[in-house]
A and B are shown apart, each in its own frame.
Chain A
Amino acid sequence: DQQVKQNSPSLSVQEGRISILNCDYTNSMFDYFLWYKKYPAEGPTFLISISSIKDKNEDGRFTVFLNKSAKHLSLHIVPSQPGDSAVYFCAAYRNNAGNMLTFGGGTRLMVKP
């Protein structure tokens, strides 16, 4: 059973608009969440993270929101650019659980010019 789920396999957005990528998790013991971005033929690259003691973290055009009661996090990209087209993975980590990141299945974002 997947502990981290990204229920939308793909998302299409017009350039300049907001992209919202969603991620749900089931394990309430997770205390750190990360988003990775992956272009074709490249490995994932770290994008942004958030600790469970926060509900928002912002870095330029990227903002991650965490709703612990709903076990839900989202990544907002504003404004979206064609270069943002990629697969986005959310991942979760639990303290004292070794070095294990649990990944979601990914959402493919397509930003249309």
Chain B
Amino acid sequence: ETGVTQTPRHLVMGMTNKKSLKCEQHLGHNAMYWYKQSAKKPLELMFVYSLEERVENNSVPSRFSPECPNSSHLFLHLHTLQPEDSALYLCASSQEGGGARETQYFGPGTRLLVL
């Protein structure tokens, strides 16, 4: 497989559930990103990892917990979410993580519904 893949593509969860979103990039990039796209709102950056270290945390609630075990994998652990967290969660990667000027390559996203 090439590019950036995300699993699952769709997820429905209750507010008391714990689930994880997975992202994998096959591009040899050093930086990975989590974005959130809510209905009728712009894409919002959540987290940035560069060389497996978190370099940006854009004031995201603690019920979202990222994990980057290596430069190819990125997880978003979800716990006690709220219905307003229902959104499309997009993962992206870029070559060096040296700034947003780099072209970011996006995965297809996970559409999350919190009941």
| Interface-located stretch among A11-19, A58-66, A73-81, A103-111 | A103-111
Interface flags for B76-115 (1: CB within 8 Å of A; 0: not) read: 0000000000000011100001011101111111000000
A49 to B103, CA, bound (A): 9
Residues of A within 8 A of B90 (CB): 43-44
Q: Which residue of B lies closest to A44 (CB)?
A: B106
Assess the B99–A93 pair: CB atoms within 8 A: yes
A41-B108, A43-B106, A105-B40 given; A99·B4 CB < 8 A: no
Assess the A46–B104 pair: CB atoms within 8 A: yes
| Interface range for A | 20 to 34
Q: Which of B25-61 contact A (CB under 8 A)?
A: 31, 33, 40-45, 48, 50, 55-56, 58
Residues of B within 8 A of A98 (CB): 48, 55-56, 99-100
A43 to B106, CA, bound (A): 5
Residues of A within 8 A of B103 (CB): 46
In this complex, the member of B9, B42, B92, B106 whose beta carbon has the largest number of chain A beta carbons within 10 angstroms is B42
Assess the A4–B42 pair: CB atoms within 8 A: yes
Residues of B within 8 A of A43 (CB): 4, 90-92, 105-109
Contact of B42 among A42, A99, A104 (CB under 8 A): A104
Residue numbers of B with Cβ under 8 A of A are 4, 9, 31, 33, 40-45, 48, 50, 55-56, 58, 90-92, 97, 99-101, 103-109
- The 16 listed contacts between A and B (C-beta, < 8 Å) are A32-B100, A32-B101, A42-B106, A44-B43, A44-B106, A49-B101, A91-B100, A93-B99, A98-B100, A99-B31, A99-B56, A99-B97, A103-B44, A105-B41, A105-B42, A106-B42
